[in-house]
Structure 1
Amino acid sequence: MSPEPTPASRSLEAAQSALAAEHAAAYGYGVIGARATAARQGEAREAYGEHLARRDALARTVREMGGSPRPAEAAYTLPFPLRAPGDAERLAAEIEDRVAGAYSDLVRAAEGPLRREAADALSAAAVRAARWRGVGVAFPGLTEKR
């Protein structure tokens, strides 16, 4: 029987998961930027920068919590092939859904300022997903938890 996780360990694990989601998002937006239409490339660059900033902030947070930030993978498997500009938009929406899911977990696990930062990141990911998709979802971050 393993010991019950502490609130601090749950919060650290959720922060590590959000960090992993940000690593994957940064990778994904590199692909999206190369495949998006000219009209959407600026939006892809902006999202890429936002994910890099959140990634760096989460790495600092993990260190402040006493953890060692998980490094990015060398590459990530995309959920589907990108053959048309619409596929890049679909990938961006899916990435944002996954990021929102990771931050949803962090909101549940964290307290204080970290919880607020996670809620802000969840909201930002939901807005970006809605922009890419053209429509929002009722409960962002919970889509994949069915």
Structure 2
Amino acid sequence: MSPLISNDLERIFEKLDKNRDGQVSLEELNWLLERIGVELSLHELESLVGKPGLDFNEFLFFYKSISAPDSNDGDDGSGSGSSDHEDESDLVKAFNVFDVNGDGYISCEELDSVLRRLGVMEENSSRDCRSMIHVYDTNLDGMLDFQEFKHMMLQNTIS
């Protein structure tokens, strides 16, 4: 199961597809990736995607391929640790996107703000955010620290 459910991804796709042609262009996809802290040039993204745009099913496949913890094709299983370090670095970047005020915690307000910016949540969704946080908030402080966030992301990306 991935961190975002299909309905969330469908709403994101629809928000990205500005001209409503059923395709998310590389420019539209790159805009989203930049918002979540993934910096790629359009050339890098094009070589990664292999085409000028994605339909919804291709968008889902792309999302699953970049969110799977063991999607690193270059990992030979030797235990070199470099992909683990990259995974940790990516998680830190993702955490920092949600930790808007930089205090080391993701509050309900921050989660709600970022998800609304991405088009996943609608106004007055703070109760949903509280529920999301509660599931992974092991110390019951009402916020997610990095370890809780990491646990949430790793648990939700394992098929």
Q: With the length of structure 1 as denominator, give the TM-score of the two structures.
A: 0.31
Higher helix fraction (1 or 2): 1
